[in-house]
Every structure is written in C-alpha cells, then in structure tokens.
Structure 1
C-alpha cells in the first residue's frame, strides 16, 4: 500500500483517480489543485508517489516536478496528461517524472504505472 498525493486542478479528476487508488488499497494522503500546493504538500507529507497533472493554474505540473525533484531527488512522480500533450510529457520526463498516464484514466493503466514506478 502506497501513500499517494493526487494533484489535478479538476476536482472530478482528483475524485476519479482517488477512487481508483483507494479501490486498489492505496492511501490518498493529500490532494492539491495547483503546482504551488503540490510542492507544499510534498514537503509536508512526503508521499511514496505523486500523480501530477501537467496543465494547472499558478504553477504547471512540470514546474512543480522540477521543484520537488530539486529538493527530493528520489521523489516518484507520475504525470497525468490529456491526449495530444506528448511534447509536454517528454518535458515532464526530462524534468524527472517516472511515467505518465493519459486522461480519461484507464484503471488498469493507472495501476500498472503505479506498480512499475514503486517497484
């Protein structure tokens, strides 16, 4: 069971992802709706894993990944992107994200990515 921080500016997406995670016996220890909160919550909660949306207000997911990875080089972050954001996904991986999942979320794909990144 992993402690997971879910970051997405859309409440519906956070709920959808949280439901998938909880059903698979993971614990959602926090939620953030922008990159600034994501960094603050990471520092405070030190989760095992973060699911990070790319496009968010105030600070993008990519900026948040860079900031988290600077402070916590071992942070495990999976990016969440909408279709057609391939260029941004590449940027996110270069910034230190370990994997990515595409919206709308496919339960199997989400859990596979989490298993891969945590193992």
Structure 2
C-alpha cells in the first residue's frame, strides 16, 4: 500500500511541481490546499499519512494549521516547507509538531526522501 500525501502551499505552481515529483512513485497525492484554513479541513477529512505544509500562507499560517491538525489527529506526519529566508520559522514549526523541515528550493529526491522518512 502506498503513502497518502496532502500538499499545502499557496502557490499553485509549487503544488504542481510537488505533485509531479510523485507521479512515478508509490506516494499518492490524495489532496491539496492553498491556505492554512483549507489545509485543516482537507487533511482532517482525507486523513493522509503525510502532509507537506508551507509555513507562510494567507488566512492561517502553516504553524497554526499544523497545531490544529495534530490536535485532531496526532498520527499525521507533517513536513514543514519554506523558503531560505524563512529558516527562522524552523524551530517554531518543529515546536508545533512538524517532524521535519525542508527549505525551498529543494531537490525532488530530497522531497521524496523526506516523505518516506516521515512514515518510517
């Protein structure tokens, strides 16, 4: 059985790039969200194994969304993702419950590896 993944990022292009990375893997993108509010509802409805969560988004930050998601389901693994100039958010993301942090831009193999490590 493959890994179920939800991608959360306010940039449609980034979501598309991430989605395409997993096309030829056993990692299935089961949903997407474009802001923190949508992330909470999509993730709690779809119950994925892993979420890739952008940190800086409109309506609700990735940090706040992470906390809310993990209150609803503490078993979901969340990987925080943000640009290099937001690295100061890494500690906040980990404190909120994220299992790891990726800095954009990232390599496809690093993203896939992070998802696999999150579930193992």
Instruction: Report TM bin, short chain.
Output: over 0.9
CA drift of 1:49 comes to 0.6
Which is worse superposed, 66-75 or 44-53? 66-75
Are 1:8 and 1:14, in contact at CA under 8 Å, matched by a contact in 2?
A: yes
What SS is found at the alignment partner of 2:7?
strand
TM-score (norm 1): 0.95
State how far apart, in whole Å, the 1-side matches of 2:58 and 2:52 are.
16
Aligned counterpart, 2:40: 39
Aligned counterpart, 1:64: 65
What SS is found at the alignment partner of 1:52?
strand
Aligned counterpart, 2:92: 91
Aligned residues: 119
Aligned counterpart, 1:8: 9
What SS is found at the alignment partner of 1:6?
strand
Aligned counterpart, 1:55: 56
Structure 1, unaligned runs of 5 or more: none
Which is worse superposed, 59-68 or 97-106? 97-106
State how far apart, in whole Å, the 1-side matches of 2:13 and 2:20 are.
11
CA drift of 1:23 comes to 2.5
C-alpha root-mean-square deviation of aligned residues, in Å? 0.9
